[in-house]
Structure 1
Amino acid sequence: MLSTLTPLWLVLLGLAALAWAIWSYRQTPGLTRNQQRLLTTLRATTLLLLIALLTDPVWPLQKRQQTPPALAILFDNSASIPLAARDSTIAQTLQRQFPWTALKEAQTHLYYFGSTLKPANPEHLADSLDFQQPRTNITQALQEVFQRHPRLNAIILLTDGQYNEGPSPLHWATQQSIPIFTIAIGDTTRPRDVRIDRVETNTLTYIHTPLPITAYLQSNGFAGTTLTITLQANGRFVAQHQHTLTLPQEQASVSFEYTPETPGWHRIEVHVEALEGEFTSRNNSYSMLIRVLDRKRQILLLAAAPEPDLANLQRILGGNADLNITTRIQRDGQRFYGGPLPDTLERFDLLLFAGYPGRNADLRHITRLRQAIEQRPFLLLLSPQTDLSRLEAWADLLPAQPTQTVPGLTEITFKLRGEAQNHPIFTLPDVLLARQNQLPPLQTLRATWQPKPDTRLLAIGQTPEGQEQPLFLVQERSGRRAALWLGSGTWRWSNLPENLSPLHTLWEELLLNTIEWLTAPVEDRLVRVWPERETFGAGEPVRLLGEVYDERLLPVSDAELHVTVWDADSTRYPFRMEAVGNGRYRLETLTLPEGLYFYQAIATRTDRELGRDQGHFSIGLSTVEFQTPWADHNLLRQLARRTGGQMLTLQTLPTLAEQLHAAGLLQPTETIQLADWRPRTQWPFLAVLILLLTAEWVLRKRFGVV
């Protein structure tokens, strides 16, 4: 390539072009000396420029540029700051104390943070800092500012060091190579105060079931004072206890008991009365939500015919106060003992088939029941009365399918599989499981059963010939559970002789455990929407997150996900969630009034519903920021030391610029940019070349040169 010519060759080519230009016009007659010089200059310049373009030489260039130091300044805007600083005008104090003038040569990125990071204007800092953020996440603030500005010289963090969300900032900071200068707001002195540190209880319970609740208190400076602690549920008084403090600094616990009477979401709140001279009463209460379920389950029992197993089954179910049984026994093709088949099957939590469908089962009833078990759990207990040909209508919904049938019955003995002991159905006493081989044999139809791929085989039956076949199978599919018991004669298990008396409850416990498992909520939804947290602070935006999948469990990114939120007064707020990619969705609402809220989300695509979900959240005055109204100097000191920074206080804050100068962090950064300069890539050279050729041609015509 011509661009690889050495500088010597370029000089020789240039001299040759110059010599040829001089020679060409030196021999031209009719030109004055000045005309010869002018034309020679034009041609020589043209040739030199043409050589430069053809050989394409490369000249390296260096450009020096100074970049001012970059600093990120993070102000903690959480509600704990005025308490830790003991100063209600802390925003004005920070505006006044910060060395803005000394840092004017630096490129500063100003933010304030709580649970989120937001940019701030230094001229209006005092107005931006309202200290209303209900949570503090220091780690997230550091991570976000580093992602936005990866070439920072240092981070200046002004905070009390108390965080109540996210991991410790020490772990993240030690993995980075950026100095963090911490400014401690407030001191470590613990004020004279009483607070509820936490409340512990179950988040799920049942109606009419006593729920233990324990509140943990912490006090400082109130020895000898008697506290009154009150428990409320949904705003109503439940119980009250008194506790006398005996130490200057004391940790105590108070126990309550609450028995909910109605199902639904219950807000429980523990409150300790405010004391005279207490630093703040905003940490004197603690609230949480518990979910109360109705333990009573509606069960439809359908039997093919009266038989001993059915009588035993009715005895067991009827003796359980948590079960409401509706029984229908086939009488003939159209009629049942106990009344007609209920008009509404959706109200039942479980469909229990005892030998049903039998030979007299009506096909219309079978079809209707099929539609019901597509959506709700069922338990099928096989018996000699079961008609396997009619059962074919449900074949795709059963945990197993009969592939070969032979008339007659065969005996089998119960044998539990090893993996069944890890299943919640078999949380049975060890004495029962250890003596299972002493149970009387069962009978089963002569059939070969093929379990489905999503079925778990928990127990097998062993024939007298030693062959094994499925006995007890369970299935969980698309949010619906099903169970299949292929043996009959369980009434014998409930009527054992005295020497086997420990085993007489095995069938009852196994049956009731199966019903509990079948009717328990199943988390297998194609549409999932949940709040970012269960309780949002007053004035805090509510964030909902969602995911949408299709039947193949592949993410759906083009769905329309509509959410309706309503409060206790049924005031409704419609929203639409924003797709963020890969089947994920997000919604950030404006602030809502305090209270308990419920929501329902419906996902659609091309007018077809993909699924729905529902849930709840609450909005109230968050007390978490008032739990620790003092500064954590130890954390701030470690954070500065581990990153190569320093810890300062509000009193030494004006010397921040000096500390940064001493650490060499306010020196501008000089960068050298290397670039290659090539004439061929510069369009003005081509323009000049055309201009020179044109000028020479015009002058030759004017001077009469052919």
Structure 2
Amino acid sequence: MQPTTINNAEHFTLEGPFGWPVAAFVLLLLLALFTFSLWRERFILGQKNTVLFWILRAAALAAVVWMILAPANIRVETATTRQSVAIITDVSGSMRTIDPPGTADEIHWVAAQYGDGDYAAIKAADQAVVAAGIAERHLQTAAAALTEHQRESIVVESTGAASAALDRVRENVAAVEGQYGGPVSQNAGTRKQLPLASRISKSLDGPEFETFSKLAAALSKGRTPSQKGWRESLPDLQHRVAGIRRQLNELARDVAEEGTQRAGRSTTNALTSFQQTPRLTRATRLLASLHDSVLTPLQEKADVRISSFDQSLTRVTSQDDPATEITSRLPAADEEGNIKVNQIGTDLSAVLEQLNRDRLEQPLAAAFIFTDVGHNRSTAVNPRDVAADLKGTPIYIVPIGNTQHVRDVILQSVFVPNVAMRNDDIVIEATLQAHDCEGESCFVQLMQDGEAIDQRVVEIDSGFATRKIRFEQKMSEVGVQQFQLAISPLEGELTDKNNFDEFEVNVTRSDIKILLADELPRWEYRYLAQLFRRDPKVECDELLFQPRQIATGRRQESGTFPTTVEEWDQYDVVILGDLAPNHLSAASQESLIEYLKDRGGTVVLIAGSSAMPQAYVDHPLESIVPVSPVADDQKGIADSGYAFHVTEEGRDHNALMIGDTDEATRNAWNFVNQVSPIYEVNDWRQPRASAHTLISAVPHGTLDPEYAARQNALLCWQPVGRGMTVYLAAPDTWRLRLLRGDRLHYRFWGQLLRWAIAADLSAGSEAVRIKSDKSRYTSNEPVQVVVRLTDKDGVPVVAEGLQAVAKRDDDQQSSPIVADAEIPGQYRGAFRNLAAGVYSVQAVGADVDKLLQDSEQEASTASFTVQAELPVELLDTRCDRALAQQIANITGGQVLPPTAVEEVLSLTNLEPEVTERIETTPLWLQWKYLWLVFGCLQTEWIVRKWKGLS
């Protein structure tokens, strides 16, 4: 049925200042005058001229009268538009939840389905509360219309609707009184409900409400109310209704509590069976009941749009059984009952946005949403902002489900350093959350390769508990070490899929070879030299040029930098300070770059005021510097100093883990930032596109610190072939020693060096090496794999037709790997949409087999873990009644119990909207009538002149 029907009607009208009687009288009077005047001149004019002049004057006079009457044709186009009502059911993943008994207002849902008999009082009390809320809203609208001098029709309509709602409140309260005043009331609990209902009923029969009923009746009939000061009384009456509504809420709670107790004593307890149903079943049952009793008859007056939603809104096409169609649309689950992550989520904003679009096409009288209000679409617009656009279209939300966390134990997070050196003692810190597990114990195990190596017992002493669990482990073997954390499931918890986590630690060898070089013994150089001399895991060669040359270790004999790749390859990490270009020759620079690209080395550049890196413009070293100069207006020294700003990438980076735990790391960096700000940063701090910024130097007092952070890199790095360059824009890491000794300084450089030498670490032989870019992935994240092939002399190998094969249990998936255009002998591939699990990956192909055969080595494998991405939708299934109330308040709706939907529909104005378009076509406003008048008069004048008549 078309929502709008159009009827056209036409009629004739006179819009002039005089009507037909006056015009006819004037016309006859003037005609008589003209006749008398011409009659007197008949002997002079002659009979023919007399008749001609009379006809001319009569015609002119008729034209003038016609124009004065201003006749017009009126065309009236009447458009009658049916209003619509939206009924929307949430079908998201959390709607499959079965709430614990007694936590989700089950008695109201039972009363909505079995509204008569034992549950009639509950339904009547709920409907009284909702009707009072509607009356309060209409009174507020009427008072606002009077204050703002809006149309009188708004006041009339609002007062009439408020009066009708108050009548329904009286009827519902009377129904409650009837239930507790008759034979049903043989219970001591009724002594509480009956007096309260009687007091409310007495208040509603008071003189102020009687006066308001008369006022509404007078306004609806178009009469002027006889009451004095009725305009000023509306706000007072609104507050009075609000007070009665609070009493009604108390009555409804008491009636529901008594009904629950009575249902528990019943032999045929419908409440118990109802408690075993999922949320969606409750919603579809309510929809089916409403469809049969209310919605089908309602369609004769208004359009009923039934829809379902999760991440988007979908209209229901079935007119006979919409509940069954909604159930059939649920996303399919696998054998274990799991649903794909991308099919799980709730987007309330999408629903409200669609309602806003729909009401532009057809008037929307009201919308009813059956949902647990679990808005969790992070990319969506705030539903409160969308609701503001719907102001004037009431949104009624029927909340479903428990407002508290369902019983569950969650392994919230695991903090562990991803890189360690052999014989390091690492700390593994896990965060555990427990809901509704008070007085119980959790058993947490730390496992390595599936074997338990440590355990903790966690006591839970509250309904919502967060606990930190700490394990210490010595890394005694080099390689990738796989660990697992598992919490033993508790009986009755929501899911055990969030009780487990898997992680790995990349353990490097226990010795690091370093070249430390600088022009002058700056503070940074001195502290680093002392630090490395004391560390038994570090073998450090030093090279200093001022004030006297110092060369140790491999540099002692030559006193200069290496000039070949083989010489540079003697070091794992090269640290270059504020060196003048004349000490670092072009040959050394070129071989250093080749060492980075082909051998996977690491260079740390520590900027200075004299040479590094600004003196290396147009030198080979410039090509590997990860920064460029900042704009001229940002150069110089900030008077207030610079604040550390650890970037989002830096917060989780291994190089910055200077504390035993995640929290300790954050506190350590914050402490340094507060007690020792930096006052000078090199002008070369604009990160290049390929750079990764870990720490930024933001001038104090910057209006936009995020923007400034992106423009001012203090610590950054960039890949250079197989290796990388690390850049420090200020020689100030020694500030980590202030008030804390050398512990933080040692941890920073220790973690930086561990990360540097582990960055090129991969599994496999010397001939075939393979690695993934990360050790852990989520289920929707692509897995990047890098394979490196070299012959027995270390020369990169060119190969074709290579594949990477990822295996998990009995399943495997392959992906082609192609040559890296920038790095000879290196190949890249990617896996997508891998299922959750632990995978081993290896390279296969004829060239790989030949290399392994020539080197007499086994096939190379690497491992990674794909974790199932548990959506917030299933981890937090609480019903967000606060958000529901905010949306309802913004739009002028309410949060409804399921028993009150029918009541709201009966009190909603569903009369069609009628608009008229009047088109007036003047019939006199034409030049021909004016020409007729002038023509008649001019003709008489010409005839008189021609014949010499006076």
TM, length-normalised to structure 2: 0.40
AA at the equivalent of 1:241: R
Residue 434 of structure 2 is matched in structure 1 by 217
Asked if residue 87 in structure 1 is aligned to residue 309 in structure 2, the reply is no
Give CA deviations for 1:350-386 in whole Å, capped at 9, x if unaligned.
5323686786866433323356679975326889999
Once the 2 structures are TM-superposed, how far is the Cα of residue 598 of structure 1 from its aligned partner?
A: 12
Q: Using a 3 Å threshold, how does the CA distance of structure 1 residues 202 and 102 change in structure 2: closer, same or farther?
A: farther
Could you tell me which of 670, 680, 703 is aligned with 2:914?
670
Query: 1:268-283 residue pairs with structure 2 within 5 A?
Result: 269-275=485-491, 278=492, 280-282=493-495
Given that residues 78 and 914 in structure 2 are in contact (C-alpha distance below 8 angstroms), is that contact kept between their aligned partners in structure 1? no
Could you tell me which of 125, 130, 142 is aligned with 2:326?
125
Once the 2 structures are TM-superposed, how far is the Cα of residue 195 of structure 1 from its aligned partner?
A: 1.6
Secondary structure at the aligned position of 2:641 is classed as: helix
Asked if residue 141 in structure 1 is aligned to residue 350 in structure 2, the reply is yes
Asked if residue 159 in structure 1 is aligned to residue 371 in structure 2, the reply is yes
Once the 2 structures are TM-superposed, how far is the Cα of residue 519 of structure 1 from its aligned partner?
A: 7.6
Give CA deviations for 1:68-104 in whole Å, capped at 9, x if unaligned.
4252524242234441363159446355334252454
Give CA deviations for 1:49-74 in whole Å, capped at 9, x if unaligned.
xxxxxxxx999763524244252524
Residue 645 of structure 1 is matched in structure 2 by 893
AA at the equivalent of 1:154: A
Given that residues 349 and 386 in structure 2 are in contact (C-alpha distance below 8 angstroms), is that contact kept between their aligned partners in structure 1? no
More helix by share: 2
AA at the equivalent of 1:79: S
Residue 317 of structure 1 is matched in structure 2 by 532
Once the 2 structures are TM-superposed, how far is the Cα of residue 671 of structure 1 from its aligned partner?
A: 4.1
Given that residues 290 and 902 in structure 2 are in contact (C-alpha distance below 8 angstroms), is that contact kept between their aligned partners in structure 1? no
AA at the equivalent of 1:182: I
Separation of aligned partners in 1, 2:628 and 2:881? 65
Residue 81 of structure 2 is matched in structure 1 by 66
Count of residues in Structure 1 that have an aligned counterpart in Structure 2: 498
Query: 1:167-206 residue pairs with structure 2 within 5 A?
Result: 169=383, 172-173=386-387, 176-177=390-391, 178-186=393-401, 194-196=407-409, 199-202=412-415, 206=419
AA at the equivalent of 2:913: T
Q: RMSD value over aligned CA atoms?
A: 6.6
Separation of aligned partners in 2, 1:321 and 1:153? 78
Residue 575 of structure 2 is matched in structure 1 by 352
| Identity percentage of aligned residues | 13
Residue 901 of structure 2 is matched in structure 1 by 656
Secondary structure at the aligned position of 2:387 is classed as: helix
Given that residues 380 and 485 in structure 1 are in contact (C-alpha distance below 8 angstroms), is that contact kept between their aligned partners in structure 2? yes
Give CA deviations for 1:158-178 in whole Å, capped at 9, x if unaligned.
112344555875565356313
Q: Using a 3 Å threshold, how does the CA distance of structure 1 residues 69 and 591 change in structure 2: closer, same or farther?
A: farther
Once the 2 structures are TM-superposed, how far is the Cα of residue 431 of structure 1 from its aligned partner?
A: 13
Give CA deviations for 1:269-322 in whole Å, capped at 9, x if unaligned.
5424232xx3x4415734567786768896652759999999996553353467
Q: Using a 3 Å threshold, how does the CA distance of structure 1 residues 430 and 339 change in structure 2: closer, same or farther?
A: closer
Q: Using a 3 Å threshold, how does the CA distance of structure 1 residues 233 and 637 change in structure 2: closer, same or farther?
A: farther
Separation of aligned partners in 1, 2:565 and 2:715? 26
Separation of aligned partners in 2, 1:432 and 1:162? 44
Q: Structure 2: which 5+ residue stretches go unaligned?
A: 1-14, 17-71, 100-274, 333-338, 544-550, 630-636, 647-655, 657-667, 688-695, 699-712, 720-724, 758-772, 783-802, 818-830, 842-863, 923-950
Residue 113 of structure 1 is matched in structure 2 by 309
Give CA deviations for 1:411-444 in whole Å, capped at 9, x if unaligned.
xxxx99862564889979899979x9xxxxxxxx
Asked if residue 77 in structure 1 is aligned to residue 103 in structure 2, the reply is no
Residue 419 of structure 1 is matched in structure 2 by 641
Asked if residue 622 in structure 1 is aligned to residue 844 in structure 2, the reply is no
AA at the equivalent of 1:656: V
Separation of aligned partners in 1, 2:485 and 2:351? 34
Separation of aligned partners in 2, 1:156 and 1:71? 6
Separation of aligned partners in 2, 1:161 and 1:112? 14
Separation of aligned partners in 1, 2:460 and 2:682? 68
Secondary structure at the aligned position of 1:645 is classed as: coil
Give CA deviations for 1:140-182 in whole Å, capped at 9, x if unaligned.
3334424543534332211123445558755653563131122
Given that residues 410 and 434 in structure 2 are in contact (C-alpha distance below 8 angstroms), is that contact kept between their aligned partners in structure 1? yes
The structure having more radius of gyration, on CA atoms, is 2
Once the 2 structures are TM-superposed, how far is the Cα of residue 139 of structure 1 from its aligned partner?
A: 3.4
Separation of aligned partners in 2, 1:144 and 1:346? 62
Asked if residue 97 in structure 1 is aligned to residue 289 in structure 2, the reply is yes
Give CA deviations for 1:221-276 in whole Å, capped at 9, x if unaligned.
x75x55434456786645433345677x564636232649588898865424232x
Separation of aligned partners in 1, 2:753 and 2:805? 32
Separation of aligned partners in 1, 2:412 and 2:578? 49
Residue 835 of structure 2 is matched in structure 1 by 593
Q: Using a 3 Å threshold, how does the CA distance of structure 1 residues 368 and 534 change in structure 2: closer, same or farther?
A: closer
Could you tell me which of 466, 474, 482 is aligned with 2:727?
482
Query: 1:558-569 residue pairs with structure 2 within 5 A?
Result: 569=808
Separation of aligned partners in 2, 1:649 and 1:245? 35
Give CA deviations for 1:491-544 in whole Å, capped at 9, x if unaligned.
xx9xxxxxxx999989995997699499889xxxxxxxx99x9856xxxxx489
Q: Using a 3 Å threshold, how does the CA distance of structure 1 residues 518 and 284 change in structure 2: closer, same or farther?
A: closer
Separation of aligned partners in 2, 1:566 and 1:658? 63
Given that residues 269 and 285 in structure 1 are in contact (C-alpha distance below 8 angstroms), is that contact kept between their aligned partners in structure 2? no
Give CA deviations for 1:595-647 in whole Å, capped at 9, x if unaligned.
47999xxxxxxxxxxxxxxxx99552737445566655565455445533244
Q: Structure 1: which 5+ residue stretches go unaligned?
A: 1-6, 9-56, 402-414, 437-448, 459-472, 488-492, 494-500, 522-529, 537-541, 545-563, 576-588, 600-615, 679-706
TM, length-normalised to structure 1: 0.51
Separation of aligned partners in 2, 1:432 and 1:180? 53
Secondary structure at the aligned position of 2:532 is classed as: helix
Q: Using a 3 Å threshold, how does the CA distance of structure 1 residues 70 and 649 change in structure 2: closer, same or farther?
A: closer
Give CA deviations for 1:310-337 in whole Å, capped at 9, x if unaligned.
99965533534675758897999x9789
Given that residues 206 and 295 in structure 1 are in contact (C-alpha distance below 8 angstroms), is that contact kept between their aligned partners in structure 2? yes
Separation of aligned partners in 2, 1:339 and 1:644? 78
Secondary structure at the aligned position of 2:434 is classed as: strand
Once the 2 structures are TM-superposed, how far is the Cα of residue 212 of structure 1 from its aligned partner?
A: 1.9
Secondary structure at the aligned position of 1:285 is classed as: coil
Secondary structure at the aligned position of 1:366 is classed as: helix
AA at the equivalent of 1:87: T
Could you tell me which of 360, 363, 367 is aligned with 2:590?
367
Given that residues 78 and 916 in structure 2 are in contact (C-alpha distance below 8 angstroms), is that contact kept between their aligned partners in structure 1? yes
Q: Using a 3 Å threshold, how does the CA distance of structure 1 residues 213 and 340 change in structure 2: closer, same or farther?
A: same
Once the 2 structures are TM-superposed, how far is the Cα of residue 113 of structure 1 from its aligned partner?
A: 3.2
Residue 860 of structure 2 is matched in structure 1 by none
Q: Using a 3 Å threshold, how does the CA distance of structure 1 residues 372 and 95 change in structure 2: closer, same or farther?
A: farther
Separation of aligned partners in 1, 2:619 and 2:276? 75
Separation of aligned partners in 2, 1:196 and 1:358? 60
Asked if residue 393 in structure 1 is aligned to residue 619 in structure 2, the reply is yes
AA at the equivalent of 1:319: R
Q: Using a 3 Å threshold, how does the CA distance of structure 1 residues 418 and 79 change in structure 2: closer, same or farther?
A: closer
Once the 2 structures are TM-superposed, how far is the Cα of residue 127 of structure 1 from its aligned partner?
A: 0.8
AA at the equivalent of 2:77: Q
Secondary structure at the aligned position of 2:531 is classed as: helix
Secondary structure at the aligned position of 1:83 is classed as: coil
Secondary structure at the aligned position of 2:592 is classed as: helix
Residue 29 of structure 1 is matched in structure 2 by none
Could you tell me which of 234, 244, 253 is aligned with 2:467?
253
Separation of aligned partners in 1, 2:891 and 2:309? 21
Separation of aligned partners in 1, 2:502 and 2:906? 52
Separation of aligned partners in 2, 1:339 and 1:287? 50
